[in-house]
């Protein structure tokens, strides 16, 4: 086994600050920042603020917030920041389905411009022509990349875009007098939100399972489609990285029954400039700008889900849309068919600037290159990973995948009793992580990798070598894996089940913790 390509693996240790909870820091009277006080020039009457708050609504006790000096607060958060592994620090392709790309600092610089950060969303439109231009043009780019006709950037993440798309489907059917359509079809390898958001909108969900080639058969879809079908929500490739070549037939079948088809383009990274929603016949789709278009994942948002639709659905888009009359950009609220507001104002403007800059840095050829290299990286990594005994890539053996692969560690688990739960913990000791799968696990002992275009051959080799090394350890030093992690910010947790599912024990806030765990309270009080 070649360990040489995993340099200094054994010396690696993540930051471990063992940082107290904020409430254990500071002391009464310390200050973190002094906010602007009352302007001393204003008269005494106005200064008497209490007189202007109804007595019943005055706060009686000050909030129990910590009192800590600024230097200690900064230190605390800088230390916590070091106890994370993001795309800026590791080849982050273990966080698959999420398209963890490089987030260029120049885009942060642009998004941090006061010309954006200090804009109020209700300013006169002539004072926000710059950001409106970026929104308009980004919308046009995404329309071209998807082949759809019109775009809304309002949804604040992919799942909210899925919700916007089901809301538009509903409005479309209602307008045509087909409000009886109450079923949505999706696949088990599509994101949980492709089932959950339509369900939240009131639809019954029919879920198709993969057959031997990794995707559902047309026959299965035929059996599911009926006059009750409102639409199809599907990813392609699914999270296995397998492209369903019959997708056009799927779409045609749903159309023939009067349904609409929404393409969840969470996995679009291998398709930029290669294949589009338009050619496959879709009516709606959405992109995650934080995936495919490189805006940072921000510890879990804010993100952007761009809803893209054909002309037939354009009138239903969330209001306002951004329009251009040849001279000026403007917000169009006069959209009587619109589903209305999906969220506050127009979405996450900083991400519009980032994604715009990212697309402009690539152009058409560059986007295609990103897709090609993402697919090349994925297939190269797959070849390396499949050399490791104990791991397989279920379905379509020997065939190339698009941009990710859902592997199975079942072989290793059967052999050693150690599966992805243990390996995922051990992975932290190798400065990496991996995503298993959404639930339910259709692939046994799943581990999904999506190397994107952002990582080098060295990164890919090192990752595969680390997996090989972990498998080796599972066979020869099983305790090392079982007790992992060893080099992470914390040691293995205990009693998770009780602490997270028993209402008498769970502690979602510090005050809940103090109420329920008297012993802990005592030790804290002693410290104070």
Partner 1 sequence: MKELTYPYIPNSAPRAKQAMLTELGVEDCEALFAAIPPELRLKRTLDLPEPILSEFHLEKHVNQILSRNTSTEEALSFLGSGCYQHYVPAVCDEINHRSEFLTAYSGRAYEDHGRYQALFEYASMMGELLDMDVVNLPTYDGFQAVATSMRMAANITGRKEILVSRAIHPDKLSKIREYNGHILEFAFIDFDPQNGEIDLGALEQALSSRTAAVYFENPNFFGVIESQGARISELVHRQGGLSIVGADPISLGILAPPATYGADIACGDIQSLGIHMQFGGGHAGYIATRDDPAYVLEFPNRIYGLVPTKVPGEYGFGEVAFERTSFMARENGKEWVGTMANLWAITASVYLALMGPQGMAEVGQTITAHVQYAIQTLSKIKGVALQFPKSGHFREFVLDFSRSGKSVAEVNRALLAKNIFGGYDLSGKFPGFTNHAAYCVTEVHTKADIDRLAQAFAEVLI
DSSP 8-class letter at 300: T
**Residue span binding partner 1 (CB under 8 A) among the ranges 1-9, 220-228, 453-461, 471-479:** 453-461
Q: Which of residues 342-361 bind partner 1 (CB under 8 A)?
A: 342-351, 353, 356-357, 359-361
Q: Which of 119, 218, 220, 524 binds partner 1 (CB under 8 A)?
A: 119
Q: Which of 2, 27, 113, 414 binds partner 1 (CB under 8 A)?
A: 113
Q: Are 109 and 302 in contact (CB under 8 A)?
A: no
DSSP H or E segment with residue 38:
none
400 contributes a contact to partner 1 by CB under 8 A: yes
DSSP 8-class letter at 320: P
The span from the CA of 498 to the CA of 205, in Å, is: 32
Name the phi and psi angles at 304, rounded to 5.
Answer: -145, 130
Contact string (CB under 8 A) for partner 1, positions 358-377, x = contact: -xxxxxxxxxxxx-xx-xxx
Size of the site for partner 1 (CB under 8 A): 214
Report strand pairing: 321-324 vs 329-332.
antiparallel
Q: How many CB atoms lie within 10 A of CB 189?
A: 30
Q: Which of residues 170-229 bind partner 1 (CB under 8 A)?
A: 170, 191-193, 195-202, 205, 207
515 contributes a contact to partner 1 by CB under 8 A: yes
| DSSP letter for each residue of 320-336 | PEEEE-SS-EEEE---T
500 contributes a contact to partner 1 by CB under 8 A: yes
Q: Which of 110, 220, 480, 524 binds partner 1 (CB under 8 A)?
A: 110
Tell me the CA distances in angstroms from 209 to 186, 248, 253, 442, one per residue in order: 9, 18, 17, 9
Q: Which of 273, 390, 394, 446 binds partner 1 (CB under 8 A)?
A: 273
428 contributes a contact to partner 1 by CB under 8 A: yes
Residue 126 or 414 with smaller CB distance to partner 1: 126
Q: Which of residues 3-32 bind partner 1 (CB under 8 A)?
A: 14, 18-19, 21-23, 30-32
46 contributes a contact to partner 1 by CB under 8 A: yes
The span from the CA of 215 to the CA of 245, in Å, is: 9
Q: Which of 8, 219, 334, 501 binds partner 1 (CB under 8 A)?
A: 501
Q: At what angle do helices 420-427 and 457-476 cross, to 10 degrees?
A: 120
Q: Which of 2, 457, 476, 522 binds partner 1 (CB under 8 A)?
A: 457
Tokens found for residue 195? 């089932």
Q: What is the CA radius of gyration of the chain?
A: 26
The span from the CA of 397 to the CA of 384, in Å, is: 14
In angstroms, how far is CA 118 from the centroid of its own chain?
26
Nearest distance from residue 210's CB to partner 1, in Å? 15
Q: Which of 144, 337, 415, 472 binds partner 1 (CB under 8 A)?
A: 144
525 contributes a contact to partner 1 by CB under 8 A: no
**Residue span binding partner 1 (CB under 8 A) among the ranges 386-394, 407-415, 466-474, 490-498:** 490-498
**Residue span binding partner 1 (CB under 8 A) among the ranges 43-51, 253-261, 442-450, 462-470:** 43-51
The span from the CA of 410 to the CA of 392, in Å, is: 8
């Amino acid at each position: 086994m070649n360990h040489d390509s995993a340099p200094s693996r054994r010396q690696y240790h993540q930051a471990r600050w063992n940082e107290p909870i904020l409430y254990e820091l500071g002391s009464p009277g310390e200050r973190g920042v002094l906010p602007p006080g009352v302007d001393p020039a204003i008269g005494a009457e106005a200064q008497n603020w209490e007189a202007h708050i109804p007595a019943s609504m005055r706060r009686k006790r000050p909030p129990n917030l910590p009192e800590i000096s600024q230097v200690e607060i900064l230190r605390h958060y800088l230390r916590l920041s070091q106890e994370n592994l993001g795309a800026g620090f590791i080849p982050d392709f273990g966080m698959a389905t999420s398209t963890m790309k490089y987030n260029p600092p120049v885009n942060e610089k642009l998004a941090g411009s006061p010309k954006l950060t200090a804009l109020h969303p209700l300013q006169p439109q002539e004072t926000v022509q710059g950001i409106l231009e970026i929104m308009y043009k980004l919308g046009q780019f995404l329309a071209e990349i998807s082949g759809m006709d019109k775009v809304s950037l309002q949804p604040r993440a992919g799942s909210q875009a899925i919700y916007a798309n089901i809301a538009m489907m509903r409005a479309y059917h209602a307008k045509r007098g087909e409000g009886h359509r109450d079923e949505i079809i999706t696949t088990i390898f599509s994101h949980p939100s492709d089932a959950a958001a339509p369900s939240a909108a009131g639809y019954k969900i029919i879920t198709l399972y993969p057959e031997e080639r990794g995707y559902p058969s047309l026959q299965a879809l035929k059996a599911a489609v009926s006059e009750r079908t409102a639409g199809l929500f599907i990813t392609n490739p699914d999270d296995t990285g397998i492209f369903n070549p019959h997708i056009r037939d799927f779409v045609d079948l749903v159309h023939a029954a009067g349904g609409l088809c929404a393409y969840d383009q969470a996995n679009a990274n291998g398709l930029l400039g290669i294949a589009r929603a338009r050619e496959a016949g879709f009516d709606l789709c959405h992109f995650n700008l934080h995936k495919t278009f490189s805006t940072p994942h921000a510890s879990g948002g804010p993100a952007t889900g761009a809803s893209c639709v054909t002309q037939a659905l354009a009138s239903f888009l969330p209001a306002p849309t951004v329009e251009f009359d040849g001279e000026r950009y403007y917000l169009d609220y006069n959209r009587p068919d619109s589903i209305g507001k999906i969220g506050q104002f127009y979405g996450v403007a900083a991400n519009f600037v980032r994604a715009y800059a990212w697309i402009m840095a690539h152009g058409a050829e560059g986007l295609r290159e990103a897709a090609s290299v993402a697919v090349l990286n994925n297939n190269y990594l797959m070849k390396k990973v499949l050399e490791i005994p104990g791991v397989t890539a279920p379905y379509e053996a020997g065939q190339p995948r698009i941009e990710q692969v859902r592997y199975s560690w079942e072989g290793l688990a059967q052999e050693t009793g150690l599966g992805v739960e243990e390996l995922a913990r051990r992975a932290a000791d190798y400065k990496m992580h991996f995503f298993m799968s959404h639930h339910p696990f259709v692939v046994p002992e799943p581990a999904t990798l999506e190397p994107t275009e952002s990582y080098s051959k060295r990164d890919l080799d090192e990752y595969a070598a680390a997996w090989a090394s972990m498998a080796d350890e599972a066979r020869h030093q099983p305790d090392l894996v079982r007790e992992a992690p060893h080099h992470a910010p914390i040691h293995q947790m205990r009693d998770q089940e009780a602490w997270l599912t028993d209402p008498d024990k769970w502690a979602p806030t510090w005050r809940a913790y103090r109420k329920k765990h008297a012993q802990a309270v005592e030790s804290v009080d002693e410290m104070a």
